[in-house]
Amino acid sequence: MSSIQELLSRFASIATSPKAQLERCLGEGKKVIGCFPYYAPEELVYATGMIPFGIWGAWGKVKAAREYFAPFYCTIAQMGLELLLNGKLKGLSGVIMSSMCDTLRSLTQNFQAADPDMPFFFLSHPQSRRPEYGVSFTVSQYTELLSGLESISGVRATDEKLREAIRLCNANRAARREFVRLCGEHPDVISCRSRCLALKSSYFMAKPEHTAMLNELNAKLRRLPASDGRSRRIVISGIINDSLALLDIFDGNEFVIVADDVAHESRGIRVDVAGEGDPIRALALQFAAQNADPLLYDPEMHSRTDHIIKLVRESRASGAVVLMMQFCDPEEFEYPTLKRALDDACIPSVVIGVDQQMDNFGQAKTILQAFADLL
């Protein structure tokens, strides 16, 4: 059996070398489907005998994609296209891309124009996702996607295969939720950096392999006494939090991420898929149940603020850090409401602007040092 540090090192190696992991899958004769952010139904990929591969978190300078995007587009979209143009997605048998916001909608069009030979699946999630007409529309989208995936893999996805795919993805979501909980109990063992990389690696590994490794790590953590060390317990919120430089600043200030509302981490694993009934409809109902996300229509207008305040209270956090993706209209529009709610709840908070081209975090370091002193 591996030690805790050995398991964390393996997760880190995979999370920081996605290209090597892609080549490993291809070397094993597997077909791989790229899944762009976010809410891509990975179960459909597994049910057709292929491996889903997350297109998340590339950091660097945007160059080639400048021909397709204005500089003020968010770098999640720009870096996704940059990966394609630089040949980093070579070997994929296709890609799935949703249109959760206006920028991602532009990305879908630019992506197809940049490489018309790459099999491309446009996934239109409905914002009115809960009424029956919204569920039916999602079912139609997933059914069409499944048909396209079957044509690539040559494998027909039976209901039995779909339910097995749902089971293995649910198991992985459960393992990641448990890991997130345990991280808050063992900051002396799991740093902010290690926490992120263990979660991020799930996008580049077959789910059964990642689940087995994470369950082994969780079991070892459960046997340890809870730490009463660092007290700067925080909840983080945003789209992505995988900058190693920023994570090292968190660790340097002895922050403990006890819970998160980050799309790249916990936001996408909050809701499981029902294992009974029509599996395609079960997947559509899972999407309908998603909430507390600035990219999703919220008829109650306060589910996200309530959710983050609840996270802070239940995790006994001392404050909240909002990671604001630069030029993300939905997040920027929603932030004043979130800030006001946190202030009214007497929860200290701070906002940090992030961009996947950033290589200087001096301002963020100063802000977080001051926030640490406040807590």
Per CATH, 31-157 and 231-375 having the same topology is answered yes
Q: What is the structure's pLDDT at 59?
A: 86
CATH match of 31-157 with 3.40.50.11890:
yes
CATH match of 231-375 with 3.40.50.150:
no
Q: Where are the domains of the chain?
A: 1-18+161-229, 31-157, 231-375
Q: What is the structure's pLDDT at 139?
A: 98
pTM for this model (two decimals): 0.96
Topology of domain 1-18+161-229 in CATH is: Substrate Binding Domain Of Dnak; Chain:A; Domain 2 (1.20.1270)
Q: pLDDT means per 10 residues in the chain (375 residues)? A: 91 95 95 92 98 89 92 89 94 93 88 94 94 98 98 98 98 98 93 97 96 98 83 93 95 95 94 96 97 88 90 95 93 93 98 91 95 94
HEC string of the chain equals CCCHHHHHHHHHHHHCCHHHHHHHHHHCCCCEEEECCCCCCHHHHHHCCCEEEECCCCCCCCCHHHHCCCCCCCHHHHHHHHHHHCCCCCCCCEEEEECCCHHHHHHHHHHHHHCCCCCEEEECCCCCCCCHHHHHHHHHHHHHHHHHHHHHHCCCCCHHHHHHHHHHHHHHHHHHHHHHHHHHHCCCCCCHHHHHHHHHHHHCCCHHHHHHHHHHHHHHHHCCCCCCCCCEEEEEEECCCCCHHHHHHHHHCCEEEEEEEECCCCHHHCCCCCCCCCHHHHHHHHHHHCCCCCCCCCCCCCHHHHHHHHHHHHHCCCEEEEEEECCCHHHHHHHHHHHHHHHHCCCCEEEEEECCCCCCCHHHHHHHHHHHHHC
Q: What is the structure's pLDDT at 57?
A: 73
